[in-house]
Amino acid sequence: MSGETLVQQHPMTSQSDSVLSNPFDADSFDAAVMSTYGRFPLALERGAGCRVWDTEGREYLDFVAGIATCTLGHAHPVMVEAVTRQIQKLHHVSNLYYIPEQGELAKWIVEHSCADRVFFCNSGAEANEAAIKLARKYAHTVLEIEQPIILTAHSSFHGRTLATITATAQPKYQKNFNPLVPGFHYVPYNDIAAVETAISELDEGDYRVAAILIEPLQGEGGVRPGDVNYFQKLRQICDETGVLLIFDEVQVGMGRSGKLWGYEHLGVEPDIFTSAKGLGGGIPIGAMMCKKFCDVFQPGEHASTFGGNPFACGVALAVCQTLEKENILENVQHRGEQLRTGLRAIAAKYPHHITEVRGWGLIDGMELKADTELTAADVVKAAIHQGLLLVPAGAKVVRFVPPLIVTEKEVDTALQIVDKAMAAVTA
Ligand SMILES: *Cc1c(COP(=O)(O)O)cnc(C)c1O
């Protein structure tokens, strides 16, 4: 994507524009910043609610929300107030001391989930690393497994550290980074027989399955919801064998699914789960929650310098309290229904190009037919031309993850733009 020209035909501007005429100097940016990302040729500089503006003053409806992160949208008064208050009071002290905001946030999470206790870090990958370490220590000290194995699912996404790319069962994230971390094994998603086979076949000598790390709904892997029967069977297997059930709720958690946690859609509770993206409303924070097995780590066995600092926790607590106070989950449910209904109507107009619309709440995907040339990136680019930000989830799925405060009118506008974008890419 990087380096391509994106000719703007934006409804907000009279003349069409290309990024090349943009005063933002992408060349000098690229000369100084490492080329780890394929960027769309846009430079964003301001936001309010579900809208963002680029350096040219063009307005976009934001259905990306910093990749399922800006829970309350941009420049929400609650966040402005919380950020300002906390930076003026105290922002960082380290975990050498008690941090009241950290305790308050942990209490909120414990009261609003199946968790008994929380560990704080700064990102989703780190939260999953913490869960992997906890599972391994549990395996060694409680299950007495010398060589514990963690099962993860094909098309999963768990982060970009070495352990979490190993957990991520997608070759494109692992290529050229071997040797990977030992102790992971992959199974197809939503396939219970594969889990049963793996657990029995991997039980050999010092080796045994100790944990299953899985997303209740696969986000990056194409917005694929978990199957209720599959997850209930997983829970049953874990109860019978002592294998830990770990849910990666980094993307689907914190209200995005229309329930606070993705597992609430599946009628089961995990032993451990992780959160990050939406938790701080866009301020970096990650968390690992555990039920029962909270005393596995002893002081000094796991840590994070920034993790749980007053700033991140103060802001995240304000986000959590606002979700609750303003009954935002109800909005997520209604806007999600509206979005999927509208997308299905669009899908019906393009039966040769769209196969399915699926999702929970405000994490939704529109899958394109495998046998056409059309990619999710093509649709995303066409939508950007029309003033709507979207993000692919894999090559063939267009993902919709707006701020959870999105209005009925904004969803309508987004649907109109998707319709126009589909018309443009199929013309
Ligand atoms: C984004 C994501 C991660 C990684 O989070 P980072 O904050 O980028 O490290 C892990 N798991 C899931 C399900 C995600 O969507």
264 CA to centre of ligand 1 in angstroms: 20
Q: Is the pLDDT of residue 1 over 80?
A: no
Q: Token pair of 145, please?
A: 């497994």
Q: Which segments within 157-268 are labelled E, that is strand?
A: 184-187, 207-214, 217-218, 224-225, 244-248
Domain boundary among the residues 280, 296, 325 is at: 325
pLDDT of residue 294: 81
pLDDT of residue 295: 87
pLDDT grade for 53, boundaries at 50, 70 and 90: very high
Residue 320 and residue 211 share a domain: yes
pLDDT of residue 293: 77
Domain boundary among the residues 300, 325, 350 is at: 325
Q: Is the pLDDT of residue 170 over 70?
A: yes
Beta bridge partners of 244: 211
Helices (H), 112-227: 124-138, 162-167, 171-174, 192-201
- Give pLDDT tens digits for 271-306: 999 999 999 999 999 999 999 878 899 999 999 999
- Give pLDDT tens digits for 71-116: 999 999 999 999 999 999 999 999 999 999 999 999 999 999 999 9
Domain of residue 175: give its range.
Answer: 78-325
Using a 6 Å CB cutoff, which residues line ligand 1?
123-125, 128, 157-159, 215, 219-220, 248, 250-251, 276-277
Q: Report the domain count for the chain.
A: 2
What average pLDDT does range 345-368 have in this prediction?
98
What average pLDDT does range 184-188 have in this prediction?
98
316 CA to centre of ligand 1 in angstroms: 17
350 CA to centre of ligand 1 in angstroms: 32
CA distance 273 to 286: 11
Residue 187 and residue 92 share a domain: yes
Catalytic annotation, residues: 157, 248, 277
Percent of the chain with pLDDT strictly greater than 70: 95
- Give pLDDT tens digits for 119-165: 999 999 999 999 999 999 999 999 999 999 999 999 999 999 999 99
Domain boundary among the residues 299, 325, 351 is at: 325
Q: Which of 37, 247, 251 to mutate to test the pocket of ligand 1 (most atoms within 8 A of CB)?
A: 251
Query: Nearest 5 degrees, angle CA 283-CA 286-CA 292?
Result: 145
Residue 314 and residue 350 share a domain: no
Percent of the chain with pLDDT strictly greater than 90: 93
Residue 345 and residue 321 share a domain: no
Mode of pairing for the β-strands spanning 17-18 and 7-8: antiparallel
What average pLDDT does range 57-62 have in this prediction?
97
Q: Token pair of 227, please?
A: 């199957």
Q: Is the pLDDT of residue 5 over 70?
A: no
Query: pTM above the 0.85 mark?
Result: yes
Q: Which atom of ligand 1 approaches the CA of 215 most closely?
A: 13
Residue 373 and residue 256 share a domain: no
Q: Which atom of ligand 1 approaches the CA of 123 most closely?
A: 7
Residue 223 and residue 363 share a domain: no
- Give pLDDT tens digits for 400-410: 999 999 999 99
Q: Which atom of ligand 1 approaches the CA of 220 most closely?
A: 15
Q: Which of 277, 279, 360, 391 to mutate to test the pocket of ligand 1 (most atoms within 8 A of CB)?
A: 277
Mean per-residue pLDDT over the chain, rounded: 94
Q: Which atom of ligand 1 approaches the CA of 128 most closely?
A: 10
128 CA to centre of ligand 1 in angstroms: 8
